Amino acid sequence: MHEHYPDTHHDQYSRTIFGFWLYLMSDCILFGVLFAVYAVLRNSTFGGPSASEILNLRSALAETLIMLTSSFTCGLALFAAYRKNVTRVIAWIGLTFLLGAAVLTLALMDFSQLIHEGNSWQRSGFLSAFFGLLGMHGLHISGGLVWMAVLVPQLLIRGLTSVTFRRLMCLKMFWQFLNIVWVFIYTFVYLMGAR
């Protein structure tokens, strides 16, 4: 009769993924609250500009296309990890990093222009909700970029281990989540706000 020992690597992987799903669900609640606040305050302009007057749809479309492309490149990094090709994993993460940085740069340029025109978060309830929602998404993108910047040296030094693979899997889940949130932002804030 064999004694069955638990697979500690699989068990640790399962616990990590489950814990990360719980984190993503809490983040889902956070963004849900921010969307609800935006929905309530989107017409509270206090004599300031409305969404249709200040939203830059071209920039938002560019950000959307870049975000969706970065989602694809992040998926390719995980695919390369399944094939145990560390060089390609690093290359795809690097490209994902550059795309994420481009989205963040465009968002900061939009924020800077709004503030320069006198439309900061202090002007109205609408602008407070707008800056809060998009700012939180930008903060998450920044966190993802830091994550990538920390993961790449680990991959270079250690290669693809069970630990680095778990971190890559969580990064992919996080980045896909940010893409889903961005699609909602683009639809709810930009497309519906432009009407």
- Element (DSSP H or E) covering residue 188: none
Tell whether 2 is covered by a domain: no
Name the pLDDT band for 193 (thresholds 50, 70, 90). Answer: confident
Q: What's the domain count of the chain?
A: 1
| Predicted structure pTM score | 0.89
Tell whether 39 is covered by a domain: yes
Name the pLDDT band for 10 (thresholds 50, 70, 90). Answer: low
Please say whether the beta carbons of 125 and 152 come within 8 A.
no
Tell whether 1 is covered by a domain: no
141-146: average pLDDT: 98
Domain residues for the domain of 144 are 8-193
83-99: average pLDDT: 97
- Element (DSSP H or E) covering residue 3: none
145-154: average pLDDT: 97
Name the pLDDT band for 82 (thresholds 50, 70, 90). Answer: very high
Residue 8 has pLDDT above 70, yes or no: no
CATH code, domain carrying 18? 1.20.120.80
20-43: average pLDDT: 94
Tell whether 3 is covered by a domain: no
Please say whether the beta carbons of 121 and 131 come within 8 A.
yes
